[in-house]
Structure 1
Amino acid sequence: MSHHPYVGMWVTADGHIRHELLADNRYDEARGSRHSVYQGRYEVRGTHIDYWDDTGFTADGDFVDMNTLHHAGMVLRRQR
């Protein structure tokens, strides 16, 4: 189980991309009206996050602060 402070929903400004970081080190990504487009596992080390999609795709990102995630050229904000 994750014990980092970043568990929760992260969303682009237009709401099109939504990453839900789950406490069991899994994530679920929605795009537009499509739910669960990408799913996989993730690992957070400090402020860095690595993603491993169930299809084999990998990605990473960095938390700039408690409310901002830079990921694959996108900026996501924590949704409360």
Structure 2
Amino acid sequence: MEHRPMMMSAIVPHIPVAGVWTSPDGHISLELRADGRFIETRADFADVFTGVYVLVGERLKLFEDRGAVISGTLVDGRLSLGTA
């Protein structure tokens, strides 16, 4: 039996955005770049987290270069992470 990769019948495009969001306490900063990359910095943590993001509709997925995946939403300019 021949195996063929599954193909999606409809492809929903990624929406590139650019901007910087900062947590209310100022400790976490997340920059989404128009090239599909992100940079996260934390005031109390020396490492910088980087990776790629995908935004489809209001659903956001961050794929960190070290393997972590974070879900969130971006609605009316408001970024929420840790949401489905």
TM-score range, shorter chain: 0.7 to 0.9
Whole-angstrom distance in 2 between the partners of 1:63 and 1:52: 16
CA RMSD of aligned residues (A): 2.0
Which residue of the partner structure matches residue 43 of structure 1?
A: 54
Structure 1 residue ranges (4+ consecutive) displaced by more than 3 angstroms after TM superposition? 33-36
Which residue of the partner structure matches residue 81 of structure 2?
A: 71
Whole-angstrom distance in 2 between the partners of 1:7 and 1:48: 15
Contact 1:19–1:29 (CA<8 Å) still a contact in 2? yes
Answer 1 or 2: which has greater strand percent: 1
Count, aligned residues = 70
**Which one has more relative contact order, counting CA pairs under 8 Å at least 6 apart?**
1
- What per-residue deviation string (whole Å, max 9, x for no partner) do you get for residues 28-66 of structure 1? 000006566200000000111101000011011012322
Identity over the aligned pairs, expressed in percent? 33
Which residue of the partner structure matches residue 10 of structure 1?
A: 21
Gaps of 5+ in 2: 1-13
Gaps of 5+ in 1: 74-80
If you compute each CA radius of gyration, which structure gives the higher value, 1 or 2?
2
Give the match's secondary structure for 2:80: strand
1:56 aligns with 2:64: no
Which residue of the partner structure matches residue 26 of structure 1?
A: 37
